[in-house]
């Protein structure tokens, strides 16, 4: 506890408590599951700046064939057309998972790869559309010159910290405390804190990075900012999912696993769970420990790209008419940071002598969103 001098009552000491850890013990886990998991994985020390650097993305380790090509003759040069030619460096060894044929990339014109089988007695094989290509190594001719320049630059992104406040006013507290103690005050205080966390959770999903920089307006009031959320952040992996088939879902999930960690949390409404149920209940597994951090988490079975978990989120279920009821977010929470300039603080703000209690909870927070391509969103699920 620290003392604070209020401007309305000079000399009065206002108790102020950091409740950033305790708040998660007294509020409902199901209402703010994502923020809880992020804080558990990646809570960062307070930062005085709102500018963040984005870590260099990892080089992808697989791609798929875009256009079917015929098999070449033994030892001859062949051509492969991948979906993403920029993934491939000259000198890379790549493997077609379907045919188990390894070839060497000798040229890349931005559309097609020129490849050759190092075994002169074997063919490069037919490369069929949607075959998976594994990029696993590199090799060069002995005594060769340095490889072609592969220049990368670190990218800088920024998000903003925003201020959130909630005020609780309970009247006749002196009388009620004398008669009944503090149960109702404690209940209302817990409710206020729970609503605060729901505010933060909502900002994580739907917030847009904006601030008021109008010079004339700034003379009237201080800067107002909104922190950007994941829906604004995800630009690459946005999957239209009107009729979502199991094979398409797993392909989309693999796309998100190209970058980042080996773990994803799929945050969805009950629409996606219903859709998965039509594929067969065996695709969803309830772990032995049914709850993690008080949150019910299921696991996707028969998916080999990494550990994929599902969280049914009440915020996406709250309004079935909302477009977000048909959304599902694939999140790499190990690469999402929860940043605070001021963590969650509870203060007494009532005037001395009043027969009421006023408490304010305040936080100044933002999210550090790293590796955009490691995340994805399905939309339009029916």
Q: How does pLDDT run across 37-87, given as a tens digit for each residue?
A: 887 766 555 454 445 555 445 567 778 898 877 666 666 778 899 988 988
Q: Which residues pair with 310 in a beta bridge?
A: 266, 298
Pairing relation of β-strands 336-348 and 356-369? antiparallel
**Of 88-102, 111-125, 210-224, 293-307, where does the model show the most confidence?**
88-102
Phi, psi (rounded to 5 degrees) for 356: -160, 170
Q: Which residues pair with 358 in a beta bridge?
A: 169
Sign of the dihedral through C-alpha 124, 125, 126, 127: negative
Higher pLDDT, 187 or 19: 187
Query: Is the separation of the CB atoms in 30 and 295 below 8 Å?
Result: yes
State which H helix or E strand residue 309 sits in: strand 307-312
Q: What average pLDDT does this structure show over 263-289?
A: 78
Cα 16 → chain centroid: 32
Tokens (6 digits) for 324 = 């977000």
Residue whose C-alpha is closest to residue 173's, from 163, 159, 183: 183
Question: Quick check: helix, strand or coil at residue 176?
Answer: helix
The answer, yes or no, to whether residue 109 has pLDDT greater than 90, is yes
Pairing relation of β-strands 307-312 and 263-268? parallel
- The pLDDT score that the predictor gives to residue 173 is 58
CA distance 162 to 203: 10
For residue 167, how many C-alpha atoms fall within 13 Å in the half-sphere facing its CB?
6
pLDDT digits (tens, 9 = 90+) for 179-236: 555 666 777 888 888 888 889 999 999 999 888 766 666 566 677 888 889 999 999 9
For residue 327, how many C-alpha atoms fall within 13 Å in the half-sphere facing its CB?
25
Tokens (6 digits) for 44 = 């960062």
Question: Quick check: helix, strand or coil at residue 219?
Answer: coil
State which H helix or E strand residue 195 sits in: helix 183-206
Q: Please enumerate in sequence order all residues whose Cβ is within 8 A of that of 139, keeping only pairs 6 or more positions apart, or say none.
A: 91, 93, 104
Q: What average pLDDT does this structure show over 154-175?
A: 75
Q: How far apart are the first and last CA of the chain?
A: 51
- The pLDDT score that the predictor gives to residue 7 is 38
The predicted model scores a pTM of: 0.71
Q: Please enumerate in sequence order all residues whose Cβ is within 8 A of that of 29, keeping only pairs 6 or more positions apart, or say none.
A: 36, 291, 293, 294, 295
């Amino acid at each position: 506890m620290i003392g604070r001098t209020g401007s309305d009552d000079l000399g009065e000491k206002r108790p102020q408590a950091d409740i950033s850890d305790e708040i998660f013990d007294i509020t409902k886990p199901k209402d703010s599951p994502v923020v809880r998991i992020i804080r558990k994985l990646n809570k960062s020390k307070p930062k005085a700046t709102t500018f963040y650097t984005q870590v260099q993305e990892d080089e992808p380790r697989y791609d798929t064939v875009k256009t079917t090509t015929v098999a070449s003759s033994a030892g001859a040069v062949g051509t492969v057309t991948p979906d993403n030619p920029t993934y491939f460096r000259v000198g890379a060894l790549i493997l077609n998972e379907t045919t188990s044929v390894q070839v060497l990339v000798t040229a890349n014109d931005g559309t097609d790869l020129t490849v050759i089988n190092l075994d002169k007695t074997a063919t490069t094989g037919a490369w069929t559309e949607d075959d998976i290509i594994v990029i696993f190594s590199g090799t060069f001719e002995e005594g060769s010159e340095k490889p072609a320049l592969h220049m990368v630059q670190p990218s800088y992104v920024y998000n903003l910290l925003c201020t959130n406040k909630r005020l609780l006013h309970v009247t006749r507290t002196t009388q009620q405390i004398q008669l009944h103690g503090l149960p109702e005050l404690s209940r209302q205080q817990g409710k206020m804190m729970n609503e605060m966390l729901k505010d933060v959770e909502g900002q994580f999903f739907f917030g847009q990075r904006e601030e008021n920089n109008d010079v004339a307006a700034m003379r009237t009031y201080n800067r107002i900012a909104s922190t950007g959320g994941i829906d604004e952040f995800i630009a690459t992996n946005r999957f239209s999912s009107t009729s979502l088939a199991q094979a398409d879902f797993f392909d989309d999930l693999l796309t998100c696993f190209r970058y980042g960690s080996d773990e994803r949390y799929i945050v969805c409404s009950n629409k996606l769970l219903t859709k998965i149920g039509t594929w067969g209940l065996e695709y969803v597994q309830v772990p032995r420990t049914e709850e993690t951090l008080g949150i019910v988490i299921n696991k996707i079975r028969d998916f080999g790209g990494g550990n994929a978990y599902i969280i049914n989120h009440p915020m996406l279920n709250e309004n079935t008419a909302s477009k977000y009821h048909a959304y599902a977010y694939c999140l790499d929470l190990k690469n999402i940071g929860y940043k605070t300039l001021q963590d969650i603080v509870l203060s007494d703000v009532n005037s001395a002598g009043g027969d009421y209690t006023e408490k304010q909870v305040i936080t100044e927070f933002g999210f550090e969103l790293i590796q955009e391509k490691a995340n994805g969103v399905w939309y339009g699920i029916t």
